[in-house]
Amino acid sequence: MAELTSDVADTICRTVELGVTITGAAVGADDRTHVFCEVLDPDRRCPDCNIAGQPRDRVARVLTDTPAAGYPVLLHVALPRFVCHTSDCSRSVFRARIDHIARPRAVVTTRTERWILQRIVVDKMSVAAVAANLAISWSTVNQIATDAARALVYDGDHLDGVRCLGVDEHKWKHVRGQGEPSFVTVLIDLTPVIDGTGPARLLDMIGGRSKQVLKQWMAARDQQFRDRIKVVAMDGFTGYKSATTEELPTARVVMDPFHVVHLAATKLDRCRQRVQQQVCGHRGRKDDPLYKIRRILHTRTELLTDKQKIRLFESLTSHDAHAAVEITHQVYQQLIAAYEHRHRREGKKLMYKILRRIRTGLPAGLTELAQLGRSLWNRRADILAYFDTGVSNGPVEAINGRLEHLRGIAQGFRNLDHYILRSLLHSGQLAERVNAL
């Protein structure tokens, strides 16, 4: 009956997979489950001479194991010690090695390390929540997670197969000072999106946002990786473009459609605000024609209701000076239409015609549109490259949103290194690699 009870306990707690068998259990005053066990097949070989030693005694090693029935578990392993009688061996007493149960000097079992990673990577739990489930300190869980992130990302094949790269900036903290840059450069693997094999994944993050920061990261990669990169998608920041051109001369730079449209939307807003001041002499108020359409100006014409279309027409034609806003709005809608064209080749032709039309020679009063035309014409090759490659930074913006969520569940970060490693665990698509550990 005692053997049956032991077998049942081993099955429930899954201790057989650790190579131990349960000899007893108790519930502590702190609601922890204390499980006492013995090593099933201890290694009696001396680590120095590799000759079997004679049994001497046992010592207890206490390890945190995965929770059982919702309660934290402490594993008390009775660890055999042996005496080495080899004359020329410098070691006299040694412990049985239990590397299959826990790493040397570790306070948790190896399967608990895997459990921690699964909760953080797969279930998106915070370190504090994982620590509470195990009844160990936050710093211990965080150290295990960050060490695992380094091993999975920087010591593995994390960069293999990357052909399409996304680059963007990300604000990781909103507090000045503290010795760390507020912005980081985010690098995303867009290859799975282009191939249709899965979502984009976070490759790395670098403190700062400058040409030099990106250039140093690219220069540190091996030549095989740099030769494999065919497309790099980015925003309009010329520093990123210069770094890419210098370090990846064979890669094609793509200026992301989102940032092109966003730039046009910004110029449209500035045009509306300038005309508002000229006509009314004050900032927008609720009854001002241009102020009433400030939101629907950014909406695609096809998505407007009949009422909104009437309001838009009446507001734009209510004053002659509003013609500048109307023309800028038309160009804004044409840019969107070019990107939305069902045939990329035709969309590319439309885009080129728009860029050529607004690059120079515009009538007076279209200041913002003229600025937009010069900016877009200077980057025309990068803008038109989208229609040939289909690569955009949309997935990069999606990962930026997930990183905002990570910062929220962690209630902020102070250490940039920890933030980068936790971000890689959170958005690096490491679930399959973690489950395979």
pLDDT one-digit tens code per residue, 227-277: 999 999 998 899 999 999 999 999 999 998 999 999 999 999 999 999 999
Residue 186: give the domain boundaries: 164-255+394-415
DSSP β-ladder status, 201-207 and 183-189 = antiparallel
**Inside any domain, residue 14:** yes
Res. 5: pLDDT tops 70: no
Q: Which of 381, 377, 378, 397 is nearest to 389 (CA)?
A: 381
Rounded Cα distance, 243 and 208, in Å: 14
- Do residues 338 and 347 make contact, with C-beta atoms less than 8 angstroms apart? yes
Residues 217 and 315 in one domain: no
Res. 404: pLDDT tops 90: no
Res. 320: pLDDT tops 80: yes
Residues 365 and 405 in one domain: no
Q: What is the pLDDT of residues 387-398, one digit of tens each?
A: 999 898 888 888
Q: Which of these three, 88, 107, 126, is where a domain ends?
A: 107
**Inside any domain, residue 385:** yes
Helix (H) / strand (E) containing 13: helix 2-13
Q: pLDDT band at residue 401, thresholds of 50, 70 and 90?
A: confident
| Residue 205, strand partner residues | 186
Residues 230 and 268 in one domain: no
Residues 352 and 265 in one domain: yes
Q: What is the pLDDT of residues 113-146, one digit of tens each?
A: 989 988 888 888 888 899 999 999 998 998 888 8
Q: pLDDT band at residue 178, thresholds of 50, 70 and 90?
A: low
Residue 34 has what DSSP assignment? Answer: E
Res. 437: pLDDT tops 70: no
The first and second tokens of residue 407, run together, are: 């910062």
Q: pLDDT band at residue 313, thresholds of 50, 70 and 90?
A: very high
Residues 384 and 400 in one domain: no
What's the sign of the alpha-carbon dihedral 426, 429, 431, 433? Answer: negative
**Inside any domain, residue 148:** no
Q: What is the pTM of this model?
A: 0.75
Res. 436: pLDDT tops 70: no
Identity of residue 70: G
Residues 323 and 213 in one domain: no
Res. 283: pLDDT tops 70: yes
Query: Given this model, what pLDDT does residue 1 score?
Result: 32
Query: Percentage of the chain surpassing pLDDT 90?
Result: 44
Q: pLDDT band at residue 176, thresholds of 50, 70 and 90?
A: low
The stretch 156-176 carries a mean pLDDT of 85
| Residue 94, strand partner residues | 82
Rounded Cα distance, 39 and 371, in Å: 75
Query: Given this model, what pLDDT does residue 137 score?
Result: 92
Count of beta carbons in the 10 Å neighbourhood of residue 99? 10
Q: Which of these three, 107, 129, 147, is where a domain ends?
A: 107
Distance (Å) of CA 282 to CA 286, 288, 319:
12, 10, 16
Res. 3: pLDDT tops 60: no
What's the sign of the alpha-carbon dihedral 202, 207, 210, 213? Answer: negative
Residues 234 and 296 in one domain: no
Query: Given this model, what pLDDT does residue 23 score?
Result: 86
**Inside any domain, residue 16:** yes
| Residue 180, strand partner residues | none
Residue 125 vs residue 154, higher pLDDT:
125
With H, G, I as helix, E, B as strand and everything else as coil, classify residue 293.
coil
Residues 172 and 245 in one domain: yes
Residue 63 vs residue 155, higher pLDDT:
63
- Do residues 63 and 74 make contact, with C-beta atoms less than 8 angstroms apart? yes
Residues 87 and 194 in one domain: no
Q: How many domains does the chain have?
A: 3
Q: pLDDT band at residue 375, thresholds of 50, 70 and 90?
A: very high
Q: pLDDT band at residue 278, thresholds of 50, 70 and 90?
A: very high
Average pLDDT along the chain: 88
**Inside any domain, residue 211:** yes
- Do residues 68 and 112 make contact, with C-beta atoms less than 8 angstroms apart? no
Q: Which of 13, 343, 400, 1 is nearest to 169 (CA)?
A: 400
Residues 74 and 100 in one domain: yes
183: CATH: 3.30.420
Residues 94 and 194 in one domain: no
Query: Given this model, what pLDDT does residue 412 score?
Result: 74
The stretch 273-282 carries a mean pLDDT of 93
**Inside any domain, residue 272:** yes
Residues 246 and 291 in one domain: no
DSSP for 313-381? HHHHTSSGGGHHHHHHHHHHHHHHHHHH-SSHHHHHHHHHHHHHHHSS-PPTT-HHHHHHHHHHHHTHH
Q: What is the pLDDT of residues 190-236, one digit of tens each?
A: 999 998 888 898 998 898 889 999 999 999 988 999 999 999 999 88
Q: What is the pLDDT of residues 38-71, one digit of tens each?
A: 888 888 888 888 888 888 888 989 999 999 878 8
Q: pLDDT band at residue 179, thresholds of 50, 70 and 90?
A: low
Helices (H), 229-294: 238-247, 257-280, 289-292
DSSP for 192-230? HHHHTSS--EEEEEEES-SHHHHHHHHHHS-HHHHHH--
Q: pLDDT band at residue 353, thresholds of 50, 70 and 90?
A: very high
Query: Given this model, what pLDDT does residue 382 score?
Result: 94
**Inside any domain, residue 122:** no
**Inside any domain, residue 437:** no
Query: Given this model, what pLDDT does residue 312 score?
Result: 93
